[in-house]
Amino acid sequence: MGDVSSRLGCFNQRPQNCRLALPITFIAAPFKINIETGQWADFATGDAGGDPVSLYAYLNGLKQGDAARALCDHWGYTMQDNFSTLSRKKWLLHNGRAGRSLGGENCSINDLEPTLTTTLIVLAHPEPHSFNGAWASATQKACEAMGDTVLISDLVAMNFQPVERANNYPHLPSNHHFDALKAQEEAAEQDMLPDDVGREIVKLLRADRVIFHFPIWWFAPPAILKGWFDRVLAHGALHTVERRFDKGHFLGRKALFCVTTGSNEEESAFNGREGDIHMLLWPTAYTLRYLGFSVAVPEIVHGVHGYHHGARKEALEERLVRALKAQTELISEFDRRPLIQFNADEDFNANGRLKSDRPSYSQFIRKAS
């Protein structure tokens, strides 16, 4: 099919009954856009995305930030608006059901097609042949079997550098007092975020759902995953004071943790001596909630360690095989999986305290005793 530029077909007419055409050119088939969701895919190259920002960036060879600014200017918004939601609304407002006539013979746009899904798998484990690695591979195969576009971030294999520090930002003066939030915000505004961070942000922006695979080490996820959150969830790029929680950038997108513990299920219960696994995972889940994600109830496999022998080792191996086989069904039922409940923004008063008449869903945010 040639490169993108050779397959561009200009679109200069406004669709019937639409106030304004989206300011992009359209690509000849095999290129599809779901005008209900804004998701798109170029089947000739394997590129895909989940919103008009990524589409505009792809077609015009722009970075995500530049594409967002261009569309904000065109649609009359500022970068402080909740652009993820607004862009989808504008997409529907301006292109709507009339999208069937947008491209004529030069573009295959079908709002009746099944929704294209992009899944990002984030793996945080140093051993590729571990159960965690095999579990992530099972997730990938299950997603691909359903027709998903799958993106992979194997943090150890890609040698991701998890420590946020001043030398990640070479544009800062050498004697500069390092403030991580301000450095991230300034770099995001100037499109100068570190390359490794930028690549991960693009994956997140493309993803409709994110599935994390990791073990629990010392009652928490591995440090490399915490560092990925510290650096990739950059202030000014993926969240601001105005764009968080109920107004977060990733509203409508889902995340799931696939977790292993060394402790058994009883020890990981609410009254177990290893601590309630759901409470141990809550801060990580709330990090994603801060960005607007809905977070599914985690999938947990207990008792995964190398100290089993004899019959216990055989029993563990059988359990792990069953878990790998069950991943296909888990992925097929992903959208029906129950979600972790969090308080809404309106549940808190002006000082950020939980209102007395609102429910508490976690011991981390609880009512006065």
Torsions phi, psi for 154 (to 5 deg): -90, 95
Question: Is it the case that residue 74 has pLDDT exceeding 60?
Answer: yes
Is residue 240 within 8 Å of 80, Cβ to Cβ?
yes
Mean pLDDT throughout 132-144? 93
Helical residues (DSSP H) of the chain, grouped into ranges: 52-60, 64-75, 83-95, 131-145, 180-189, 195-206, 223-232, 277-290, 310-332
Digit-coded pLDDT (tens) for 300-334: 999 888 888 888 888 888 989 999 999 999 999 99
Residue 298: DSSP 8-state: P
Digit-coded pLDDT (tens) for 161-209: 999 998 988 888 877 789 998 889 988 888 888 999 999 998 998 899 9
Residue 229: DSSP 8-state: H
What confidence score (pLDDT) does residue 109 get?
32
More confident residue, 92 or 69: 69
- Domain residue extents for the chain: 5-109, 118-338
Digit-coded pLDDT (tens) for 247-306: 988 888 999 999 999 888 899 999 999 999 999 999 999 999 999 999 999 999 998 888
Report CA torsion sign: 168, 172, 177, 183: negative
| Superfamily the domain 118-338 falls into | Flavodoxin domain (3.40.50.360)
> What is the Cα Rg of the chain in Å?
22
Torsions phi, psi for 39 (to 5 deg): -75, 145
Q: For the whole model, what pTM was predicted?
A: 0.70
Torsions phi, psi for 341 (to 5 deg): -85, 135
Q: What angle do CA 352, 357, 362 make, to 5 degrees?
A: 65
Burial class (CB in 10 A: 0-12, 13-18, 19+), 61: exposed
Contacts of 229 (CB under 8 A, 6+ apart): 284, 287
